């Protein structure tokens, strides 16, 4: 499974997501600009030293990543009504998350509406923390896999 973070801004969120990737065997794709430095010193200071052992890629073009993985791409957003519980996830899936302050770009919602899913929340709630959302999504996806793949 691959996790994509589109323009993440908070290093602690990315650090928690890297830990989730480390313990689930997921890989991570970061789409800049990032709101933090990924130099070794900066990563260690932010607690992001879990980069070792996790397959992390930098990809400049979100659409190229999407097109390489279609149709097994799911965009997590609060701007849809389709629940993430309705998806039968597979190990080759790409789970895409937007930045903490801006979410995903509008063109994603427009072009890929059928691939947009939502983690249910109470009416009127703005959004979940990014690292929390990724953790919920990854473990929901893994719960759909056959036992031999978990």
Using the predicted structure, report yes or no on whether residue 149 has a pLDDT greater than 60: no
Spatial CA neighbour of 5 closest among 125, 127, 102, 115: 102
Domain 2-149, CATH among 3.40.50.720, 1.20.140.10, 3.30.930.10, 3.40.1280.10: 3.40.1280.10
Using the predicted structure, report yes or no on whether residue 91 has a pLDDT greater than 70: yes
Residue 10 tokens read as 């908070």
Asked if 28 contacts 17 with a C-beta cutoff of 8 angstroms, the reply is yes
Using the predicted structure, report yes or no on whether residue 44 has a pLDDT greater than 90: no
Other C-beta atoms lying within 10 Å of the C-beta of residue 146: 7
Q: What is the mean pLDDT of residues 38-44?
A: 62
Asked if 133 contacts 119 with a C-beta cutoff of 8 angstroms, the reply is yes
Spatial CA neighbour of 75 closest among 114, 29, 132, 129: 114
Confidence (pTM): 0.91
């Amino acid at each position: 499974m691959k996790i994509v973070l589109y323009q993440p801004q908070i290093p602690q969120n990315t650090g928690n997501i890297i830990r989730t990737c480390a313990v689930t065997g997921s890989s991570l794709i970061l789409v800049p600009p990032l709101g933090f430095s990924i130099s070794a010193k900066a990563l260690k200071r932010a607690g992001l030293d879990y980069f070792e052992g996790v397959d992390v890629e930098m990809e400049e073009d979100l659409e190229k990543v999407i097109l390489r993985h279609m149709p097994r791409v799911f965009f997590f957003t609060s701007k849809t009504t389709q629940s993430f519980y309705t998806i039968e996830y597979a190990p080759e899936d790409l789970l895409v998350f937007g930045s903490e302050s801006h979410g995903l770009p509008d063109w994603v919602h427009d072009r890929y509406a059928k691939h947009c899913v939502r983690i249910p929340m109470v009416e009127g709630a703005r959004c979940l923390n990014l690292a929390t959302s990724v953790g919920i999504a990854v473990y929901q996806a893994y719960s759909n896999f056959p036992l031999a793949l978990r």
